[in-house]
A and B are shown apart, each in its own frame.
Chain A
Amino acid sequence: PAAFDASPIPEDAPVLPFPPGENYFQLREFSFTLRDDIYVRFQSFGSPQELERELQKINPYKIDIGAVYSHRPSQHNTVHLGAFQPMEKELVFDIDMTDYDDVRTCCSSAEICSKCWTLMTIAVRVIDRALVEDLGMKHRLWVYSGRRGVHCWVCDDAVRKWSPALRAAAVEYLTLVKGGAETVKKVNLSEPIHPFIRRSVNVVEKYFEEYALVGQDILGSPERWDKVLALIPEDILSHREPLQSDFPKKRDSVQRWELLKGKMDAPCYADWEIMLQYCFPRLDINVSKGVGHLLKSPFSVHPKTGRISVPLDLQRLDQFDPFAVPTISSLCHELDAAGDDGEQEDGGETEPKRRVRDYKRTSLAPYVRVFEQFLEEMERARRGEQLRRSGKRREEKQPAWGPGGAPWLWGAALFL
């Protein structure tokens, strides 16, 4: 893997939208992981340009974004103990494929493939539906983590101020799969079935056959179907044996599933419980709960894969292919190519700067567009809110994320 020194960093703008008029940017914590696993926290900067310079100087492997604090994080040692507090932060969710190892047949741990990637698609759909319809959230940015999962950043003004208790409550509301390695049956439903569960099942159902029955083939062999049958509750044991004897007679998982479903009648929800255990999203509460918790920055480079952590386009979620995401090397190649083709626009421009504007000619462009749309939507909402409040007087405030809303490109990360 190539080391790359100069970063093709384009015009200023931090990755996340900061409300105009406040010195949010100076109060935002960044953390870096440097070579040899040196981790530095409480980095803060006076301006995006300052951040850019620092990045070029130290070339971090990983860049994480934290909370907006009461004081500049870089000066936290000069503040009274207890006075330095995280004030707000986006509500974040982290969904990681390794949490599904017990139900994946194709891969395990850090590996992913196109077959199991559907789990992430399902997770995004289930969670996003709940965030919008149930929790009333508007500004959600879903991001590919760069290796084996997805993140969500909820940026609504009110939500950024949520307490840890409220964040934890949201995760609990969204949790259906409970229990660790020792728990065999991780989903237990009883009547009455809460609308959240019902609606989530509706989403899962759309993917279940293709993903679980065909792709994962969860009823494809006695070993596999025993695992599934083990999830049918004890008191409905009478179902297990006939199924065990009938399964071999069927051709494939799809047929066997039909057989299984046929045996279910309310109040038995074993079929739903199985679907949910195999497909329902698994969240890490610790990531979401803490206001000060740091999370990988969108558009940063994943140190282990070289892939850029790109925003997901919810309109084309089902077509997303993690293996087609640009890597730092592929981007550099593209930029070099673009540089050779293009003319010198300005005599006085230095090379890196020209490269800077060329990111639009790389395969990163569509992802940047998704991000820009997200920002535009936030800006629109904010203007609407200001209009409502200030009546006629229209505030022409410059969004703090700079002209054009162009994002950062953390091209400088070294990876080995």
Chain B
Amino acid sequence: MEFSSRARQRHTRLAGDRRDPYPHSLQFYQEPPTENISLAEFESFAVDRLRLLKVVENLGVSYVRSSDSYKMKLEAEFRRLKFPYKALAEDDYDARRKDHISHFILRLAYCQSEDLRRWFLQQEMDLFRYRFNELTEGLRQKFLEHVNLQFEAISEDLKNELANELSTSTPGFTMTKVKEQMFYKVGLSDAVDLFRARRVFIKDGFAFVPLKDIDAIVLNNYRQKLSKALALTARSLPSIQSDERLQPLLNHLSHSYVGPDYSVQKNTGKISLDQIDALSVKSFPLCMRQLHKALRDNHHLRHGGRMQYGLFLKGIGLTLEQALEFWKKEFIRGKVDADKFDKGYAYSIRHSYGKEGRRTDYTPYSCMKIIMSNPPSQGDYHGCPFRHSEPELLKQKLQSYKIPPSGITQILDLVKGMHYQLACQKYFELTHDLDDIGFSLNHPNQYFAESQKLLTGGRELKKEQSHLGNSQQKSNSQESMTSTSTPSSSNTTADAELEGLEAYFTED
């Protein structure tokens, strides 16, 4: 690690006290940070951790968690984002501090709803599990002592004495394996699942748990603590929400997308209106295909649908003039007359192109935003079909689009597991006759761009070169993850502004 001379001075001067607040690279995040930080650091720390958690999520779905691929890729991300990883305490202070602070910031952002809490808890647990298992035995023991988990490793003598019992009570442990691995003495209440199923040796009210099962126990402990903390945080949220500097950032974090924002299109003007019908079938993600069809069928879309679809169209290259023509032609076939269109809807289309009012150039919605915010109600067609449609209806729709039954089953399984974007990726694969999508989907415009690339020969159709020879695994080397663009601006306040405007022109 490189130090500037100033940093080196700081390092040597504070070496003693620095280590104290963060004696381990890992922690249970029980004490919130108390120092002052700048808003800039606040934001960048939070965004980096969010990136890390998203990587954790993606890798967790695509790879077996203990596999080398998983570990390698996650490690790379740790280094890149400067989170604590296998460094000596003295060298790791900044990373540990960042880890500490960023966790607490994200708690604020992710405690606000059941969905958010669940997501955050899941990723933080996976993160913790990975880091815990990467520790050396000695560090692990020290960490357990530090967090007061009374799991003492039993002595070699005791282990030898109990070797036979340990081996007959712990599945998968021959006498040899017993001799090799550490065993810990754990209270019964901490090892409930093991002890109820008689998968562990118990004596005098204690369970003797092998190292490989300890992480499950520690993890359970961590989950309980974090779950409680999140609930508590949610209760104290109102006071944080009143801070004007923080609330927009927190809001935006929980809806954020960290990739290209498709706001500036190189392809502007390259699409013609009469192509849209065909494109909607071939290259639109399901959400946009659905919106387009609803628009054609009903000659109308409500506000949510207009925003989601309209911005998407902008992202694929429709100019303002094209957009105005497109929407007007369709709305006129419905109940809206030309005059009314020009007075109301046209204004808001120009607004979303940045030609009116605040003149913000609105960016097309990312998958995250579509999935997490503004769920559709009766009569709406926006949202993410994988998230918001009834599975039965989704199934019917996919059948009508001639998706093969096995593919539909796979999609529905992913939906059940709440992996909506992966379900959409599967949809991409099925509609483009691919084994492997080859990228990680998180934006509808990305879907479109990739689809077009494929169909127009911009990228060769090739089978994924799997590192482990397992054709089920996906590569995660995609452009979007390495983007350095700042997160897209929050559209929430702007949306509200537009909505107010719309109400003025009474919707049907």
Interface residues of A, Cβ cutoff 8 Å to B:
133-137, 162-163, 165-166, 168-170, 172-173, 192-198
Which A residues lie within 8 Å of B192 (CB)? 165-166, 169
Asked whether, in the complex, the Cβ of A195 is within 8 Å of the Cβ of B165, the reply is yes
Asked whether, in the complex, the Cβ of A135 is within 8 Å of the Cβ of B188, the reply is yes
Nearest CB in chain A: distance from B487 CB, A: 41
Which B residues lie within 8 Å of A197 (CB)? 198
Q: Is B189 interfacial (CB-CB < 8 Å)?
A: yes
Identify 15 new A-B residue pairs, CB closer than 8 A, beyond the known A169-B196, A192-B171.
Answer: A133-B203, A134-B204, A136-B206, A162-B189, A165-B192, A169-B192, A173-B195, A173-B202, A192-B169, A193-B168, A194-B198, A195-B165, A196-B169, A196-B202, A198-B168
Interface of A is mostly: helix
Nearest CB in chain B: distance from A132 CB, A: 9
Q: Is B112 interfacial (CB-CB < 8 Å)?
A: no
Q: Which A residue's beta carbon lies closest to that of B199? A: A194
Asked whether, in the complex, the Cβ of B188 is within 8 Å of the Cβ of A166, the reply is yes
Known A133-B204, A137-B205: A195·B195 in contact at CB below 8 Å: no
Asked whether, in the complex, the Cβ of A192 is within 8 Å of the Cβ of B167, the reply is yes
Which B residues lie within 8 Å of A169 (CB)? 188, 192-193, 195-196
Which A residues lie within 8 Å of B202 (CB)? 134-135, 173, 196
Number of cross-chain contacts by CB at 8 Å: 50
Nearest CB in chain B: distance from A282 CB, A: 17
Q: Is B1 interfacial (CB-CB < 8 Å)?
A: no
Nearest CB in chain A: distance from B373 CB, A: 33
A-B contact pairs, 27 of them (CB 8 A): A133-B204, A134-B202, A135-B188, A135-B205, A136-B205, A136-B206, A137-B205, A163-B189, A165-B192, A166-B189, A166-B192, A168-B196, A169-B188, A169-B195, A169-B196, A170-B196, A172-B197, A173-B198, A173-B202, A192-B167, A193-B168, A194-B198, A195-B165, A195-B169, A195-B201, A197-B198, A198-B168
**Assembly CA distance A166 to B190 (angstroms):** 10
Which A residues lie within 8 Å of B204 (CB)? 133-134, 136
**Assembly CA distance A172 to B200 (angstroms):** 13
Asked whether, in the complex, the Cβ of B206 is within 8 Å of the Cβ of A196, the reply is no
Interface residues of B, Cβ cutoff 8 Å to A:
165, 167-169, 171, 188-189, 192-193, 195-198, 201-206
Asked whether, in the complex, the Cβ of A173 is within 8 Å of the Cβ of B167, the reply is no
**Assembly CA distance A369 to B458 (angstroms):** 92
Which B residues lie within 8 Å of A173 (CB)? 195-196, 198, 202
**Assembly CA distance A134 to B198 (angstroms):** 11
Nearest CB in chain A: distance from B188 CB, A: 7
Nearest CB in chain B: distance from A244 CB, A: 34
Asked whether, in the complex, the Cβ of A194 is within 8 Å of the Cβ of B206, the reply is no
**Assembly CA distance A170 to B206 (angstroms):** 13
**Assembly CA distance A198 to B198 (angstroms):** 12
Q: Which A residue's beta carbon lies closest to that of B197? A: A172
Asked whether, in the complex, the Cβ of A194 is within 8 Å of the Cβ of B168, the reply is yes
Q: Which A residue's beta carbon lies closest to that of B204? A: A136
Asked whether, in the complex, the Cβ of A172 is within 8 Å of the Cβ of B196, the reply is yes
Nearest CB in chain A: distance from B129 CB, A: 22
Nearest CB in chain B: distance from A322 CB, A: 31
**Assembly CA distance A193 to B170 (angstroms):** 10
**Assembly CA distance A195 to B195 (angstroms):** 13
Nearest CB in chain A: distance from B165 CB, A: 5
Q: Which A residue's beta carbon lies closest to that of B167? A: A192
**Assembly CA distance A136 to B189 (angstroms):** 13
Nearest CB in chain B: distance from A390 CB, A: 23
Q: Which A residue's beta carbon lies closest to that of B187? A: A158
Nearest CB in chain B: distance from A139 CB, A: 13
Q: Which B residue's beta carbon lies closest to that of A158? A: B205
Q: Which B residue's beta carbon lies closest to that of A171? A: B196
Which A residues lie within 8 Å of B171 (CB)? 192
Which A residues lie within 8 Å of B168 (CB)? 192-195, 198
Nearest CB in chain B: distance from A155 CB, A: 15
**Assembly CA distance A135 to B196 (angstroms):** 12
**Assembly CA distance A136 to B59 (angstroms):** 43
Nearest CB in chain A: distance from B161 CB, A: 13
**Assembly CA distance A132 to B193 (angstroms):** 20
Which B residues lie within 8 Å of A163 (CB)? 189
Which B residues lie within 8 Å of A135 (CB)? 188, 202, 205
Nearest CB in chain B: distance from A87 CB, A: 16
Q: Which A residue's beta carbon lies closest to that of B198? A: A194
Which B residues lie within 8 Å of A195 (CB)? 165, 168-169, 201
Which A residues lie within 8 Å of B203 (CB)? 133-134, 136
Which B residues lie within 8 Å of A198 (CB)? 168
Q: Which B residue's beta carbon lies closest to that of A159? A: B205
Which A residues lie within 8 Å of B196 (CB)? 168-170, 172-173
Nearest CB in chain B: distance from A193 CB, A: 6
**Assembly CA distance A136 to B197 (angstroms):** 18
Which B residues lie within 8 Å of A194 (CB)? 168-169, 198, 201
Which A residues lie within 8 Å of B189 (CB)? 162-163, 166
**Assembly CA distance A225 to B198 (angstroms):** 32
Q: Which 4 A-B pairs have the closest CB atoms?
A: A136-B205, A169-B196, A136-B204, A192-B168
Nearest CB in chain B: distance from A289 CB, A: 12
Nearest CB in chain B: distance from A105 CB, A: 31
Nearest CB in chain B: distance from A4 CB, A: 44
Q: Which A residue's beta carbon lies closest to that of B168? A: A192
Residue among A137, A163, A192, A197 with max Cβ neighbours from chain B (10 Å): A192
**Assembly CA distance A197 to B197 (angstroms):** 12
Q: Which A residue's beta carbon lies closest to that of B172? A: A192
Nearest CB in chain A: distance from B192 CB, A: 5
Nearest CB in chain A: distance from B221 CB, A: 15
**Assembly CA distance A165 to B195 (angstroms):** 12
Nearest CB in chain A: distance from B284 CB, A: 49
**Assembly CA distance A262 to B198 (angstroms):** 29
Q: Which A residue's beta carbon lies closest to that of B173? A: A192
Nearest CB in chain A: distance from B333 CB, A: 57
Which A residues lie within 8 Å of B193 (CB)? 169
Which A residues lie within 8 Å of B198 (CB)? 173, 194, 196-197
Which B residues lie within 8 Å of A137 (CB)? 205
**Assembly CA distance A221 to B165 (angstroms):** 40
**Assembly CA distance A270 to B198 (angstroms):** 20
Which B residues lie within 8 Å of A193 (CB)? 168
**Assembly CA distance A194 to B196 (angstroms):** 12
Nearest CB in chain B: distance from A317 CB, A: 23
Q: Which A residue's beta carbon lies closest to that of B170? A: A192
Which A residues lie within 8 Å of B195 (CB)? 169, 173
Nearest CB in chain B: distance from A168 CB, A: 7
Residue among B165, B195, B196 with max Cβ neighbours from chain A (10 Å): B196
